[in-house]
Chains A and B, each alone.
Chain A
Amino acid sequence: KQEVTQIPAALSVPEGENLVLNCSFTDSAIYNLQWFRQDPGKGLTSLLLIQSSQREQTSGRLNASLDKSSGRSTLYIAASQPGDSATYLCAVLDSNYQLIWGAGTKLIIKP
């Protein structure tokens, strides 16, 4: 059974720092992995989608990597800003086309 874990559950860093959020999954048989951002009480915003055949995707200050063999993905945020404060969730599309979610990392960027 696929399980997705995000560590840490919460992270607080000063503005301007580069940071890495982690996502691990137990079964490497996935179709893709997607990173989302969620502001309090709001819906989810898609950040990056990595297909199983890809190693990384970039969008602006965000870079997501995927290592299927080790069951890991990282979301790298460069030059963090207070507006980056949110909860970040990763989700994998497993071999049964089920989307399996991590519990999220709550990120706080201190001005």
Chain B
Amino acid sequence: DAGVTQSPTHLIKTRGQQVTLRCSPKSGHDTVSWYQQALGQGPQFIFQYYEEEERQRGNFPDRFSGHQFPNYSSELNVNALLLGDSALYLCASNLAVAGELFFGEGSRLTVL
């Protein structure tokens, strides 16, 4: 049973560029959430997708957008990258909003 998978694992971008991160949820899960984690800090909630719609959103600017596909996989897009966007981006999935949350290994984004 595959867990949550994310790609790419590492990437380097320059300021102003755009990035797309991808996530496949754990088998059987229908809800995908994205988090940003800066070094030495806890995860910060970006948004959550369910039935291809954004259900909840954290305190992140509109430069952060996402999408969920019919197979429940998801993408996180960040436009106009800033140095401060450098972080580990984590995807998590669960079944139903109060179900146990499972995380992927993350995508490490470095913005130069």
A interface bracket (residues with beta carbon within 8 Å of B): 20 to 34
A42 to B3, CA, bound (A): 14
Query: Which residue of the partner chain, among B100, B105, B106, contacts A46 with CB atoms under 8 Å?
Result: B100
The answer, yes or no, to whether A34 is at the interface (CB within 8 Å) is: yes
- Residue with the highest number of chain B CB atoms closer than 10 Å, among A42, A43, A97: A43
Q: How many residues of B contact A (CB 8 A)?
A: 21
Q: A99-B45, A99-B101 are in contact. Are A43 and B106 (CB under 8 A)?
A: yes
User: Is A58 in contact with chain B by the CB < 8 A criterion?
Assistant: no
* A62 contacts chain B at the CB level, 8 A cutoff: no
- Of B41, B45, B98, which contacts A31 at CB under 8 A? B98
A98 / chain B contacts, CB cutoff of 8 Å? 45, 56
The answer to the question of B22 belonging to the interface, with a C-beta cut-off of 8 Å to chain A, is no
A46-76 at interface with B (beta carbon < 8 Å) = 46, 49, 51
Q: Give the distance in Å from the alpha carbon of A32 to the alpha carbon of B94 in the complex.
A: 13
B97 CB-CB contact with A under 8 Å: yes
B72 at the interface (CB under 8 A from A): no
Q: Could you show 26 A-B contacts with beta carbons less than 8 Å apart?
A: A31-B98, A32-B98, A34-B100, A34-B101, A36-B103, A41-B88, A42-B106, A43-B90, A43-B103, A44-B92, A44-B103, A46-B100, A46-B101, A46-B102, A46-B103, A51-B98, A93-B97, A93-B98, A97-B98, A98-B56, A99-B33, A99-B45, A99-B101, A101-B42, A101-B43, A103-B42
